[in-house]
Amino acid sequence: MQRREFFTQATAAAPFLQASQVGGRGPLKITDVKLHLIGGGGRNYCIVRVETDQGIQGIGEAYSCGPDAAIVEVVKDFRGWLIGQDPRNIEHLYSMMVNFTRFPGGLVVNAAISGIEHALWDVAGKAAGLPVYMLLGGKCRDKIRTYQSAGTPEAAKRLVEKYGYTAIKMRPQPDNDNGKPYNEVTRGAAARVKAMREMLGPDIDIGCDIHARFFEVSRAARLAAAIAPYNPMWLEEPIRPENEHAMKKLADRVTIPLASGECNYQRHEFRRLLELGALDIIQPDICLCGGLMEMKKIAAMAEAHYVTVAPHNPMGPVATAVNVHFAASTSNFFILEYHPDDEGVRKDVLKEPLMVKDGYIPLPTKPGLGIELNEEAIKKYPPVSWHRGFAYRADGSVGYI
């Protein structure tokens, strides 16, 4: 190949190089950062948009925390820090938002940072003319394995038949478990998991999500022993997440793989869990833990501890797209939580949401995240005011949700 021909092809495939190094339009600059609340499904989808002086826009998704108006205000504050910056300096801008906040962020601040960070990657990919996963080392798989939650064995069977899932998740505890005796909950959990296994057969993986409703290690261990004969894929959030040593104590008593992490932020909290050997599978949320690069760093630590990653993904279709790029480029990725984007507000948020085919999501090939926001959805679905439901024990005391 002639040098001129090679140069022409290389620069045509990499507008990022043209703009910043070959005398093109110069470096990108952020001109605006916005957050759109799209109401639907009993909560909001918190869609962040980063705009630039060259017309390239990126989108991301922050976690819907409940008081979502607080996330709007945090994004507004960060906007003043980010305008005028090159959006491709993602590590630098992430450090600005984290370090200049001074105190370690919680639910709201980390949600805002995560959504902004996604949008920066979308801009960077579009500017380079490449899918985001190609900026993260390239793909290490061709499609992304997914699973969905089901309330009953019959519903699970329908989902497997419709979407081709090789895994399903369920809540093992019976309804109103906060108000029932331990023995009834344990016995009911065993019956529910048994029914699910009998419906799905021996080969479909079944994840069991306690949803952090147990406080005592012994109670979680008893339930784990009761459902172990039905070969669960994992026991998710079996106890509250605050005490890593308690999770390690549980890990030493059970035979089911333990999974947790949706309530943990940034690499530092995951470091403690990994050093203790408390988990077999970590479940960081890309809309909450700090974003895509932070989750890559968490995954790298997990890989060094022989732990796999199954991202928590209850948010909207933008979050799913970001997770797909993470999964495509991460060798110790295991499986992705998924919610079908084929009806209602989830279908309308994006012009072309990423869809499951035979239990897997094919990798997008368009630049950036490979998705485009449907502007009409912003008008069609106004924000909703919401909070999580309350749960009380039989004696009237506050339970866990």
| Tally of residues, the chain | 401
Cβ density class 200-210: b for 16+ within 10 Å, e for less = beeebbbbbbb
- Which residues are designated catalytic? 211, 312
- Long-range own/partner contacts, residues 269-273 (CB < 8 A, 24 or more apart): 270/298, 270/301, 270/302, 271/301, 272/244, 273/244, 273/247
Helix axes 107-128, 317-328, angle to 10 degrees: 70
Q: Of 186, 238, 183, 207, nearest to 313 (Cα)?
A: 207
Identify residue 386 by its one-letter amino acid code.
W
Q: Of 275, 301, 276, 297, nearest to 286 (Cα)?
A: 297
Tokens 């709201």 -> residue: 108
Q: Which two tokens stand for residue 281?
A: 């599978």
Residue 11's SS3 state is helix
Q: How many helices (H) and strands (E) does the chain have?
A: 15, 12
